[in-house]
Amino acid sequence: MYFALPKEYRESSIESLRERVIEAKRKLCNRLCILVHHYQRLEVVEFADHIGDSYGLSKIAAGKKDADIIVFCGVHFMAESADILTGDHQNVYLPNPLAGCPMADMAEMADVLAAWESLQPYGGVEKIMPISYMNTAAGLKAFTGRNGGLICTSSNAASALRWALERREKAFFFPDQHLGYNTGIKFGLKPEEMVIWDFTRDDGGLTAEQIERARVILWKGHCHVHTNFTAEQIHEVRANYPGVKVVVHPECPPEVVQLADASGSTSFIVKFCAEAPSGSIIAIGTEINLINRMAHVHPDKKIFELSGMTCPVCANMYRTTLNDLAYTLERFEDIKPIRVNEPIRSEARLALDKMLEIA
């Protein structure tokens, strides 16, 4: 896809962009709702009507009936989910249409359908419950809904897994192996009850015995931002900062999540920082824009990024600029909204509604 912002927006000063956004918000008033994910730039966060994690924002989108213009400052799968959860009278706009999620792209429809076919001899839909992480394309959410499964996010993955395993013998969790594994451990599963489905190999690279024994089959996907965090970094930070609290996102590898003081969704991390007493030292393992914002809003606490050397930026979240936001608010009538069509829309909605119900 090619996307170029008109020159007028590319070359505007920050002050002029801010004024334009303020004026557009004033004009559109209740027609407009700007949803902003925690990983967005500070200059975008400033204009949020709601800021949250992927679960919280989808819940707000589902309940926001009055606004007909929903501007989602996040990545593509989030805007798609918001479109599925909103009514026909509402349009969802993604200010930078190039903002995708490389982890979501690790589960392609053809590979997931091939895996599901290979799993038929092990009970298929009778015995295996698909759980799709929110970070997936709408087509895969529809696959999940069609097969009786549900969507989860990092804030409700444990409830989703419980729901799934109360109804079927196994769960088929995609695409984030780490969130799936970390959730399974939290839920009380043993490591040997979880297997990784390598979609580049026949039968996921697993033996029949391994699949039969598994309670959770994990897709071999990961987030390149979160897999840069290591256990050594936690040891080092603890040696250098006595009393430090380490909080990480559950997309981090299992050894990192197990060593951390706490783990949870982006909203969990925000709450953790807010509730920590003044003077706390907090090392965070997640995306850098959220960490910088936490350090900025809590000057009475020492808050910093866990790795100390890599810069864990989500380049896709970072794509959305104030320039994009100003353009979207002023020219939404010329922009194609994010639209998920039938039958994918209704099938994906089944899986999303289930997620909202179990919460």
Interface mask (CB under 6 A) for ligand SF4, residues 243-282, using x and -? --------x-------------------------------
The residue ranges of DSSP E strands in the chain, in sequence order, are: 32-37, 50-52, 69-73, 91-93, 128-133, 150-152, 170-174, 194-197, 216-219, 245-248, 262-263, 281-285, 302-305
Nearer to ligand 13P, 147 or 156 (CB): 156
| Site residues, ligand 13P (CB under 6 A) | 38, 53-55, 135, 153-154, 223, 249, 251, 265-266
DSSP notation for 4-16: ---HHHHS--HHH
From ligand SF4, ligand 13P, none, interface partner of 265 (C-beta below 5 to 8 A by class) = ligand 13P
3-state secondary structure of 176: strand
From ligand 13P, ligand SF4, none, interface partner of 82 (C-beta below 5 to 8 A by class) = none
- Residue 316 beta carbon to ligand 13P: minimum distance, rounded to whole angstroms: 9
Question: How many residues belong to the site for ligand SF4 (CB under 6 A)?
Answer: 12
Where residue 72 falls (left for φ over 0; alpha for ψ -120 to 50; beta otherwise) is beta
Q: How many CB atoms lie within 10 A of CB 15?
A: 8
Nearer to ligand SF4, 32 or 104 (CB): 104
- Residue 126 beta carbon to ligand 13P: minimum distance, rounded to whole angstroms: 31
Structure tokens at 120: 């038929």
From ligand SF4, ligand 13P, none, interface partner of 53 (C-beta below 5 to 8 A by class) = ligand 13P
Cα separation, 102 vs 87, whole angstroms: 28
Binding to ligand SF4 (CB under 6 A): which residues in 69-128?
Answer: 75, 101-103
Structure tokens at 99: 């903002």
Contact criterion met (CB below 8 Å) for 219 and 173: yes
Where residue 323 falls (left for φ over 0; alpha for ψ -120 to 50; beta otherwise) is alpha
**Window of 18-26, 118-126, 298-306, 312-320 that interacts with ligand SF4 by CB under 6 A:** 312-320
- Residue 211 beta carbon to ligand 13P: minimum distance, rounded to whole angstroms: 28
Cis peptide before 102 (omega within 30 of 0): no
Cα distances from 171 to residues 188, 202, 216, 274, in angstroms, run 14, 19, 5, 35
- Residue 175 beta carbon to ligand SF4: minimum distance, rounded to whole angstroms: 9
Contact between 223 and ligand SF4 per CB under 6 A: yes
Interface mask (CB under 6 A) for ligand SF4, residues 12-51, using x and -? ----------------------------------------
Contact between 160 and ligand SF4 per CB under 6 A: no
Cα separation, 315 vs 300, whole angstroms: 29
From ligand SF4, ligand 13P, none, interface partner of 316 (C-beta below 5 to 8 A by class) = ligand SF4
**Residue numbers at the binding site for ligand SF4 (CB under 6 A):** 75, 101-103, 135, 223, 225, 251, 287, 314, 316-317
